[in-house]
């Protein structure tokens, strides 16, 4: 699966043969199967869409250091939106194009407000940059493959370098309840999203996958009206809302399904391919 940038066909206006010029896909739970691979059928469907003139952009909550090995394994060469929209990454050149960091003083204030309401949190933080590590503190459950992990014991370490985002966990609240509580306590200071099991995240206020995808699309001369987007978790809600057509996987969180224009098959049943084969005749098997 490759994405070498826009072709003349991609920069031309939409045609009856090209219903969408931009195909945006989340990674985990959407494009990737549980073993972090992409099926041959989905690869073929994406290849047919890009051969027809559409651009494929990966949009993931993973920061660049956590996404990079996945993108390399997929042979992905184009722009990827990483870190919930904070980072625009050129996969073919292994280059960080843009990066937005979380204000550490604001993040600390947000944490204080959240903990004042629900008690102590377990924390982790993604450091900024191409090789930024993920620091994690006592009690934080790290079930996430591929993260370059470094434990910390002194809280000052968490704030010693620029960070892309914070991860928070609570000993009793589930992810939905924790995200709701964090949003209520500190939603005026930081963005709060849930990206997967055990992944409640604090982000720069106003930052979403939609803002990152919009920036990437502009670089390709495209806009929301050109886009179809696929996702599975609440952090994909802004992206599906931005795109002309938003598709939730069958395995998606209920909140995403509630706002999607369409629900396709699951990530293990080639849900992306099911839709693309309908839209792009050359993708049909």
Among 158, 178, 203, identify where a domain stops: 203
**Does one domain contain both 92 and 129?**
no
Residues 268 and 252 placed together within one structural domain of the fold: yes
Final residue belonging to a domain, choices 180, 203, 226 = 203
Kindly state whether residue 5 falls inside one of the protein's structural domains: no
Q: List the end-to-end C-alpha distance of the chain, in Å, as a whole number.
A: 17
The residues that bridge with 55 in the sheet, in sequence order, are 22
Q: Give the list of residues 6+ apart from residue 154 with CB closer than 8 angstroms, or none.
A: none
Q: What is the pLDDT of residues 230-285, one digit of tens each?
A: 999 999 999 999 999 999 999 999 999 999 999 999 999 999 999 999 999 876 76
- In a domain? residue 285: no
Q: Which domain holds residue 224?
A: 22-100+208-279
Residue 3 domain-assigned (yes or no): no
Query: DSSP states of 163-221 as a string?
Result: EEEEEEE-SS--HHHHHHHHHHHHTTTEEEEEEETTEEEEEETT--HHHHHHHHHHHTT
User: What span, in angstroms and rounded, lies between the C-alpha atoms of 164 and 71?
Assistant: 19
Cβ neighbours, 10 Å, residue 177:
13
Last residue of a domain, one of 146, 173, 203: 203
Domain membership flag for residue 14: no
232: in domain: yes
| 77-126 pLDDT tens trace | 999 999 999 999 999 999 999 999 999 999 999 999 999 999 999 999 99
DSSP state, residue 13: P
Number of domains observed in the structure of the chain: 2
Predicted model pTM? 0.89
The sign one gets for the Cα dihedral 270, 271, 273, 277 is positive
Residue 157: exposure state from Cβ atoms within 10 A (0-12, 13-18, ≥19) = middle
| CA nearest neighbour of 126 among 162, 174, 85 | 162
């Amino acid at each position: 699966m490759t994405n070498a940038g826009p072709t003349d066909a991609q920069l031309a206006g939409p045609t009856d043969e090209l219903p969408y010029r931009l195909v945006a896909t989340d990674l985990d739970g959407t494009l990737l199967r549980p073993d972090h691979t992409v099926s041959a059928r989905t690869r073929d469907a994406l290849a047919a869409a890009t051969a027809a003139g559409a651009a494929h952009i990966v949009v993931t909550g993973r920061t660049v250091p956590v996404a990079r090995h996945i993108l390399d394994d997929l042979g992905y060469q184009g722009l990827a939106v990483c870190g919930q929209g904070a980072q625009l990454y050129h996969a073919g050149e292994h280059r960080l194009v843009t990066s937005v960091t979380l204000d550490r003083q604001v993040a600390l204030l947000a944490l204080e407000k959240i903990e004042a309401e629900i008690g102590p949190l377990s924390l982790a933080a993604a450091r900024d940059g191409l090789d930024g590590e993920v620091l994690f503190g006592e009690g934080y459950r790290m079930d996430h493959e591929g993260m370059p992990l470094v434990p910390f014991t002194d809280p000052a370490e968490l704030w010693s370098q620029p960070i892309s985002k914070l991860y928070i966990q609570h000993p009793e609240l589930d992810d939905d309840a924790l995200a709701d509580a964090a949003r209520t306590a500190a939603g005026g200071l930081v963005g709060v999203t849930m990206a997967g099991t055990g992944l409640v995240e604090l982000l720069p206020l106003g930052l979403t996958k939609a803002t990152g995808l919009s920036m990437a699309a502009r670089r390709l001369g495209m806009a929301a009206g050109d886009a179809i987007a696929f996702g599975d978790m609440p952090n994909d809600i802004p992206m599906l809302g931005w795109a002309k057509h938003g598709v939730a996987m069958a395995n998606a969180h209920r909140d995403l399904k509630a706002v999607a224009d369409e629900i396709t098959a699951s990530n293990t049943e080639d849900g992306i391919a099911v839709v693309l084969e309908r839209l792009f005749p050359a993708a049909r098997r």
